[in-house]
Amino acid sequence: MQQDAASTPPADQTAIAAPAVDPSTQAAAPSFAGASDADALSQMGFAHLFHEMTSKPGEFAVSWVVLLSLVIMSIGSWYYTIVNFLKNSVVRARAERVIRTFWDTPNPADAIRAMEEQPKNEPFSKIALDAAQAALHHQRNEGSRLVESLNRSEFIDRALRQAVTRESSKLENGLTWLATTGATAPFIGLLGTVWGIYGALIRIGATGSASIDAVAGPVGEALIMTALGLFVAIPAVVAFNTFVRTNRDTNAKFDTFAHDLHDFFATGSRVGNAAPAKR
């Protein structure tokens, strides 16, 4: 009995050997890690990127250049998209009416007067007026060296070619901007992506850690720049292809109308069915 009592440690020694663990500490540790990850992921948003760019403009010079370039390209693309859409819609809506008005007017003088009353930005009436002015100019200079060098048909054909080229060029206004934006915006965004990844690698080297805290900001910048480049380029490409197809149809109408005008002013009478059939 004495040996058993001697081998049994006191109650107070047992309490010292097994220190109590606070349950609240164990429950709080995972929540701290989750909060840290959430804070790191919040650095990948555009708001955080813009805050960093405004607070440290020197460190984000390349990002500013990329962002401003994409913004300017996007504004220009949407401007030309809206302007060309409205312009093409008006031209296509008036085309058949203007052509029909010219051919349905019995008196050529009245037809020319009707063309003069059309809006200044209406292309078909301007082509008809150029043909009429060329025919009148050639008629007034009969017996001169002009008539000897160019006959009536050649002179009118030359005026019509110039008129069609001029009006076709007006339709193409802004297409170069759209094509350039669609072709270069993804690569400008890619420049921001590469620069963001480069910043992530520098931060990893400086901190010696590849944790989410070290790379969240630069990786978020890279992803945002890539998305912005695609957001700018895709609408520009769609608008460019749409306007190229629309302009092709309008230019075909220019050529058809110009050929009919050439026959009319060169011979003094309509050749064939100059007036297009109603669809």
- At 57 the pLDDT is 54
For the chain, percent of residues with pLDDT exceeding 90:
43
* CB-based contacts of 212-219 (< 8 A; 24+ apart in sequence): 212/37, 212/40, 212/41, 213/36, 213/39, 213/40, 216/40, 216/41, 216/43, 216/44, 217/43, 217/44, 217/48, 217/49, 217/52, 219/44
Integer Cα distance of 2 and 209 in angstroms: 60
C-alpha–C-alpha distance, residues 150 and 156, integer Å: 10
Model-level pTM? 0.71
User: Please, what's the largest Cα pairwise distance for the chain?
Assistant: 151
Give the alpha-carbon dihedral of 78, 83, 84, 86, to 10 degrees. 120
Enumerate long-range contacts of 58-64, CB under 8 Å, 24 or more apart.
62/191, 62/192, 62/195, 63/192, 63/195, 63/196, 63/221, 63/225
Residue 125: count of CB within 10 angstroms of its CB: 22
Q: Which residue has the higher pLDDT, 228 or 268?
A: 228
CA distance 247 to 64: 36
Q: How far apart are CA 234 and CA 244, in angstroms?
A: 16
Q: What is the mean pLDDT of residues 3-17?
A: 48
pLDDT tens string 143-190:
566 665 678 888 889 999 999 999 999 999 999 999 999 999 999 988
Which of 184, 172, 170 shows the shortest CA–CA distance to 233?
184
Q: Which pLDDT score, from 0 to 100, does residue 84 have?
A: 95
Model confidence over 97-146: pLDDT tens digits? 999 999 988 888 899 999 999 998 899 999 999 999 998 887 777 656 66
Return the number of other C-beta atoms located less than 10 Å from residue 97's C-beta: 12
For residue 138, what pLDDT is reported? 79
Query: Could you tell me the residue ranges of all domains in the chain?
Result: 46-267
pLDDT in tens, 55-77: 555 556 777 888 899 999 999 99
Helix (H) or strand (E) holding 276: none
Residue 39, token pair as written in the block: 């804070």
Rounded percentage of the chain residues whose pLDDT exceeds 70:
64
Cα separation, 225 vs 81, in Å, equals 23
pLDDT of 155 reads: 86
State whether residue 57 is helix, strand or coil.
coil
Residue-level pLDDT at 225: 82
